[in-house]
Structure 1
Amino acid sequence: MSHNSIVIYKSKTGFTERFAKWIGEELSCDVIPYARRSAINFDAYDTVIYGGGIYAGSIGGLKWFKEKLPAMAGKKVVVFASGATPADSAETAKCLRQNFTDDEWSQIKAYYFQGGLCYEKMSLGSRIMMSMFRSMLKKQEGNSESYRAIASSYDCASKEDLKPLLEYCIK
């Protein structure tokens, strides 16, 4: 059953892509990688979903998506972000909100999903940055929970986490 929806995603290490494809399967809709964004005709969709990873507090590719908001007037507009921080962290909610102006926030329904960390798929620059951050954290906090959370790659992406977004899109 088609919901006349589209999912556009930008993914560096694969978590956002996996969430986007899961959403596409559940909604039986088009799933388009960020690299092919110029081919999208927003008029063809009632629901537009954008997903990007959170890197240093910013959602990847979101600037482009927000520039397209005028073309999405009257549509359901959804943004999801994925990252390594637990979804129930106060820091996560603050980080998600800081990516939008008040006007954008009133037009967009936003969600966050914890995916994980994949050092093997990170760019060299990202690996170096994370290595420096781990060293700083270890020096400040020792073998703390925060340090252990970023010490190595892990995957806690869950299709179940998508339920609120999917329910919003089909109502």
Structure 2
Amino acid sequence: MTSTLVIYGSNYGYTRTYAEWIAEDTHGRAVAADQVGAAEVDAADVVVIGASDYAGKLTAADRIRDLAANLREKKVAYFTVSFSGDVSQPSEKLDGVLAKNLGEAYHDGAPTGHFRGGMDYSQLSRAHKTAMMGVRTFLKSKPNKSETDLQMIECYGGSADYRDRASIAPLVSAIKAL
């Protein structure tokens, strides 16, 4: 039986949820990036890497880059979680975010998924709340707002949760086919 290790970086729990779902559906194990060791990566047949995307910066990207040598010969897959997922950004652009952030730890052509998370202002760090003030101002002045732009404006100061377990099905199928 193939062993699958799902490594994730998550600040507010949305990416952790997707990592746990993917681990369950692939009969694998989900481990936070700051808790995983090189020996665990070496022991896995398939490694899935997930990270939260904050304006093009991925959580735990530095830790994943540290594991690049251990990932070199592995079957890998990747996923990101953000407020909009791939609803308002093409997957190819989001794959580019993975490549830019992960460097040698990214395998071009590997299966990827880009999922919607959410936002709960009561949980945001001061830095993220401050950043969101600027994002909200920008989005309100934007002439042609996307669906996710409107949703982000609407949830400002409150919360929204767009996690969807069904959305992982194509990635899980691709992982099982590795």
Normalising to structure 2: TM-score of the pair?
0.82
Q: What CA RMSD, in Å, does the superposition of the two structures yield over aligned residues?
A: 2.5
* Identical aligned residues as a percent: 24
Report Cα offsets for 1:10-44 as digits up to 9, x if no partner. Answer: 11111101001111111222211123124652221
Is residue 170 of structure 2 the alignment partner of residue 168 of structure 1?
A: no
AA aligned to 1:159 is R
AA aligned to 1:84 is F
Measure how far apart 1:135 and its partner are. Answer: 2.0
Measure how far apart 1:141 and its partner are. Answer: 4.0
- Taking a change above 3 Å as real, the CA distance of residues 143 and 77 of structure 1, as seen in their structure-2 partners, is closer
Residue of structure 1 in register with 2:161 after alignment: 155
- Taking a change above 3 Å as real, the CA distance of residues 164 and 140 of structure 1, as seen in their structure-2 partners, is closer
AA aligned to 1:48 is V
Runs of 4+ aligned residues of structure 1 deviating over 6 Å after TM superposition are none
Asked whether the equivalents of residues 85 and 92 of structure 1 are also in contact (C-alpha less than 8 Å), the reply is no
Mean Cα deviation higher: 69-78 or 121-130: 69-78
Residue of structure 2 in register with 1:30 after alignment: 29
Asked whether the equivalents of residues 10 and 52 of structure 1 are also in contact (C-alpha less than 8 Å), the reply is yes
Is residue 58 of structure 2 the alignment partner of residue 66 of structure 1?
A: no
Report Cα offsets for 1:28-73 as digits up to 9, x if no partner. Answer: 2221112312465222101011111001112211232133222123
Residue of structure 2 in register with 1:118 after alignment: 120
Rounded Cα–Cα distance in structure 1 between residues aligned with 2:21 and 2:114: 15
Normalising to structure 1: TM-score of the pair?
0.84
- Taking a change above 3 Å as real, the CA distance of residues 92 and 55 of structure 1, as seen in their structure-2 partners, is farther
Residue 111 of structure 1 aligns to a residue whose secondary structure is: strand
The unaligned stretches of length 5 or more in structure 1 are: none
Asked whether the equivalents of residues 15 and 51 of structure 2 are also in contact (C-alpha less than 8 Å), the reply is yes
Asked whether the equivalents of residues 76 and 111 of structure 2 are also in contact (C-alpha less than 8 Å), the reply is yes
Rounded Cα–Cα distance in structure 1 between residues aligned with 2:108 and 2:141: 41
